[in-house]
Amino acid sequence: MSLPGALPSSLQPRPVPRHGLPLQPRSAIGRRASLRLRVLGVVLAINAAAAVVAGAVVVHNARVAAEREMMASVEMAERMVQETAERMAETSGTAGAAAGDSAGDPASDPAGWPVHLRHLRHVRIVIEDAQGRPVPLKPPRSTEQKDADGGAPLWFAHLVGVKEVARDVEVHTNGALFGRVRIAGVPDDEVDEVWEDVSDFAVVAIAVNAAILLALYLALGRVRSDLAGFHSALGELEQSRFSCRVDLPRTRELAEVAERFNELAAALAAARAENNRLNAHLVTLQEDERRQIASELHDELGPLMFGLKAGAESLARAAAEAEGPARARIAERTQGLVGIVERMQATNRRLLRRIRPAALDLLSLGDAISSLLADFRQHDPARTFLLAAGPLAAHYCVARDATLYRCIQEAVTNALKHGDARTIRVEIGEVDPGAAREGTGPAYEGARMLRLGVTDDGRGPPDRIVEGLGLAGMRERVRALGGTCRFERGPEGGGRFVAEIPVPPPILQEGE
């Protein structure tokens, strides 16, 4: 009888890629960028693009504003210089005629030029005499302080790139050229102001973006922590630990996913519990059916064969008393008939032991296993059979007792038949859940485990194990009870068969 969900590992369904695309290996997934890096990278890229665009806009606006301001300042300075030159020419002519010398010549005294010409913004005024020699003017205090403090860097001034605008105003005295005033537009003040604004704005923008990136980093870290919880829980589900649950995150969307995940885990746990109950019940029904067949073979077929043998022996005795040439032939035929019946009885007893060992009904589980090994010793006294029994109940249930008995029977037979083992050691007992092999996926989390190990010193398993009916049957029965089994190479060579079956709480055992 085949049990559902108990196919050999070589026949287990494999994951099928969706839409025909190959499944990605975990090593390739590990090389992918994380969500946090992707989001932060996108935000940084957007900020960099925004900074470039904002810088271009600032430079363009600074160039336009500087040009307008410089042109307006040059025009205003030109009018002021013309008015000043006219007044100074009139004053110089009057003073010269009265004094009769050049002592009152304003060109010879730079301090005679009005002070307000030295405070004009966005312009630079250079006074030259009639021979073209510049007359120095003491810069205002604000300019000296500005030069000491420094302004915009050269690269920013070159980036703005405002061309200078120059105007020349000639000063005449008594109809002769007295000097020349050169007015040049200088965008330095405007560029400095723009640089100060840009610097302040950049500091604020950097601080704000740093705060945004930090907030994103922390928020995405929280999301990553929540996703790590999902990853861990999915790993638990992969190991068939359906009791795992995910704590509800603070994010509403993730909390909804967590709720659905917990509902899925609960549904899987309930479905597996139901499957385990049905599978255990199926094994129990199978054992009941075997026991019924064994009972019918023993009660029905046994007496018939006994009567047939008794009749054949009666014919043999009658043939011994008969006379004539048919005596020897009748005796020979009846003796052959008795031999056939005896072989049928031996075959029937062997079938009865395989279908339903009587020791399971008459003895405890440990004694039944010990009796089984004693039968192996009797049939093969040249081999050594050892039994190490740990904590073990007298009986568990029909399905578990029969499964353990048949696993030992099949594993020992395989070690003798295929491994040519000389020494076989059977270990059986209850162990704590933590002592079970990681990833076995017990049917009942937290339940104690029945561990069976059959180790031999034979040739050991081949590199590629081909499961026959014996191993496949054992795997089916063990999986039907929520356990696992494996056949591997032993620690010191040879082969080792290991089976782990959960022991459910007593209330579940009674329900079986």
Convert the pLDDT of each residue in 156-165 to its tens digit. Answer: 878 877 777 7
pLDDT band at 145 (very low <50, low <70, confident <90, very high): very low
Which CATH architecture does the domain made up of 362-512 adopt? Answer: 2-Layer Sandwich (3.30)
Nearest by Cα to 414 from 475, 369, 354, 455: 455
pLDDT band at 207 (very low <50, low <70, confident <90, very high): very high
Convert the pLDDT of each residue in 43-56 to its tens digit. Answer: 889 988 988 898 88
Count CB-CB contacts under 10 A for residue 483.
26
User: Tokens 């606006």 correspond to what residue?
Assistant: 61
Mean pLDDT lowest among 420-424, 485-489, 504-508: 504-508
Convert the pLDDT of each residue in 283-331 to its tens digit. Answer: 778 777 877 787 777 777 778 777 887 887 787 777 777 676 777 777 7
If you ran DSSP here, which 8-state letter would residue 249 be given? P
Question: Tokens standing for 154?
Answer: 């050269």
Residue ranges covered by each domain of the chain: 36-207, 362-512
| Residue 441, helix vs strand vs coil | coil
What is the Cα–Cα distance from 150 to 392, expressed in whole angstroms?
92
What is the Cα–Cα distance from 397 to 442, expressed in whole angstroms?
17
DSSP 90-112: HHHHHHHHHHSSSTT-GGG-GGG
**pLDDT higher than threshold 80 for residue 149:** no
Which amino acid makes up residue 316? Answer: A
What's the predicted TM-score (pTM) here? 0.53
Position 394 scores a pLDDT of 84
337 burial (CB, 10 Å; 0-12 / 13-18 / 19+) is middle
Residues contacting 445, CB < 8 A, separation 6+? 241, 242, 243, 433
Question: Tokens standing for 230?
Answer: 């999902």
Q: What mean pLDDT comes out for the span 486-493?
A: 81
Position 262 scores a pLDDT of 92
Position 286 scores a pLDDT of 77
